A and B are shown apart, each in its own frame.
Chain A
Amino acid sequence: MKKILTHSLLVASAGLLLQQSVVHSAGREVRNDEQVIQISASTFEFKPSEITVKKGVPVVLELVSMDRHHGFKLSEFHVRADIKPGAVEKVRFVPDKIGTFAFFCDFFCGDGHEDMSGTLKVVE
C-alpha cells in the first residue's frame, strides 16, 4: 500500500494553526485536516475568547494556564479539561454541527470566575 503524505502549515488567525494532511491510499484520497488552537487562561479570561473552526475538521485545543488552576468546558462537544500552570493540556474533538457555542471555566478560580467564558464558532 502506497501512501503519500503532504503537509502545509497555515496561520489562519491568532492562536490557530491549520495543519492539512492529504493521504492517498489505494487510489482513494482521504482528507485528514486538523485544526490546532492554542488557548491561554488567566484571571479571568481566555485568549483568544472567540474562535472559529471548520465543521467536520478535527480540532485540537492546546490549553495553558498563565497563573492558577482553571477549567475548560465546551458542553456542546463534550469537551472538558483542567488547566494547570506549567502544563499543556490537549483535547481533541470534531465539530460536527454549525453554530456558535459557549465555552467557560468550570473550576472556581476567584472573583470574576463567572465572566470567564468564550465562544466557538463552527462554520462550513
Chain B
Amino acid sequence: MNACKLLIVDDSNIMRRRIERSQQIDALTVVGTAANGLEALELFKQTNPDVVTMDITMPQMDGIECIEQLVALKPQIRILVISALADKATAVEAMEKGANGFLNKPFTDRQLNEAIAELLRRSA
C-alpha cells in the first residue's frame, strides 16, 4: 500500500487526539488536525491529504459543506465521516456530497482501523 496522508477534522480535541492515537495503519501519516471545516480547508491547501476523517456537527463550517468543497478541490480524496449523527439521512447526504465511508461515534479502535483500511482498500 502506498504512503497516504491523513487529515483529522473534529471539533473535539479529545476526539482528534483519540483518532490520531488509535489509527494504526502503517501506510498512513497524520499531517494535520482541524477543529472545523474552515480550518480543514486551510490545512488541505498546506498538506494535500489523501484521506480525511470528518466530523459533521462543527462550528463555522460543518462537515457536509467541507466534504463538498474538499471533493471539488481533489475528486480522488477519500473521506471517512465519523459522527454521532447516526440517522440515515445524514449518512446519505454525506455520501451524496462525496464521502466514502461512515463510522458512528462512539467507536472502538478496531472499528476505526477497519473503517480506514476499508476506505484505502476501495481506493487502491
Query: Bound pair: A and B?
Result: no
